[in-house]
């Protein structure tokens, strides 16, 4: 019987039962379902600057560690080209600290079951995190994004840190929900940022939000969500 897949899955999926992961050519399975010899071969094919396709893959600590090590540029940082993580599930701490994304990076509808940290990462192109679910903390501290950035309709269950990040083009947090604190201290939005419909349902009230940050602006204040509208749990976004 043919599997029924969501309409947004437009890639060839893994032959393993109930897996939506993108196949890792020349195999008919995703990287998570390769045997040891096959995975060794797939990892050897990667080098700093390689494109990466882990769409729909369930990523554990072992797989992520192997991939990041293969992309290491010799200076302790992973460097990759076009990076595709749509609908991926990170079942481990997702540590992209200092990583360099030389092409566009897409994480749409991915799920992070544990910590997600991009501390000090550099995105040379555009980055999209639309509809991503973060079960724990998200760190985007000291990140540089040269292109457009989209965090629309993300849900962060704990604190989200964007302090000292720099965004070269437009940024959108439309419909985002922060259940903890959201920190934007000293963040720079060179081309403006939209927070329309953004909400915080954390345990403490936040200050009155602004719907759009001006180009070149630096949000001020404490490490609490000062750009999102306070909402009670279960309330709809405005």
For residue 28, give every residue at least 6 positions away whose Cβ sits within 8 Å of its Cβ, in sequence order, or none: 14, 15
| Residue 128 pLDDT greater than 80, yes or no | yes
| Residue 38 pLDDT greater than 60, yes or no | yes
The two structure tokens encoding residue 111 = 């799920």
Determine the Cα–Cα distance for residues 104 and 219; give it in Å rounded to an integer: 26
pLDDT in tens, 165-198: 999 999 999 999 999 999 999 999 999 999 999 9
Determine the Cα–Cα distance for residues 173 and 196; give it in Å rounded to an integer: 7
pLDDT at 8: 73
Phi and psi at 212, nearest 5°, equal -150, 130
Q: Which long-range contacts (CB under 8 A, 24 or more apart) does 187-196 make?
A: 187/162, 187/163, 187/218, 187/219, 188/216, 188/217, 188/218, 189/213, 189/214, 189/215, 189/216, 189/217, 190/166, 190/215, 190/216, 191/167, 191/215, 192/217, 193/167, 193/217, 194/170, 195/227, 195/228
pLDDT in tens, 65-84: 999 999 999 999 999 999 99
For residue 126, give every residue at least 6 positions away whose Cβ sits within 8 Å of its Cβ, in sequence order, or none: 104, 105, 145, 147, 148, 149, 150, 169
């Amino acid at each position: 019987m043919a599997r029924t897949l969501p309409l947004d899955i437009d890639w060839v999926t893994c032959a393993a039962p109930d897996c939506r992961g993108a196949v890792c050519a020349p195999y008919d399975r995703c990287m998570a379902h390769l045997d040891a010899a096959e995975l060794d071969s797939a990892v050897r094919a990667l080098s700093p600057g390689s494109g990466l396709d882990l769409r729909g893959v369930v990523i554990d600590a072992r797989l992520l560690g192997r991939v990041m090590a293969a992309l290491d540029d010799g200076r302790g940082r992973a460097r990759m080209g076009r990076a595709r993580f749509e609908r991926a599930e990170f079942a481990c701490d997702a540590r992209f600290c200092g990583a360099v994304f030389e092409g566009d990076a897409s994480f749409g509808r991915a799920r992070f079951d544990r910590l997600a940290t991009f501390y000090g990462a550099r995105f040379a192109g555009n980055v999209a995190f639309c509809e991503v679910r973060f079960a724990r903390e998200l760190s985007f501290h000291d990140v540089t994004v040269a292109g457009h950035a989209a965090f629309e309709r993300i849900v962060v269950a704990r604190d989200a840190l964007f302090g000292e990040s720099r965004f070269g083009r437009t940024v959108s947090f439309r419909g985002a929900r922060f259940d903890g604190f959201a920190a934007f201290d000293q963040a720079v939005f060179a081309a403006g940022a939209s927070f329309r419909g953004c909400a915080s349902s954390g345990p403490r009230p936040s200050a009155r939000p602004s719907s759009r940050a001006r180009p070149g602006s630096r949000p001020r204040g404490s490490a609490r969500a000062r750009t999102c509208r306070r909402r009670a749990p279960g309330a709809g976004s405005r």
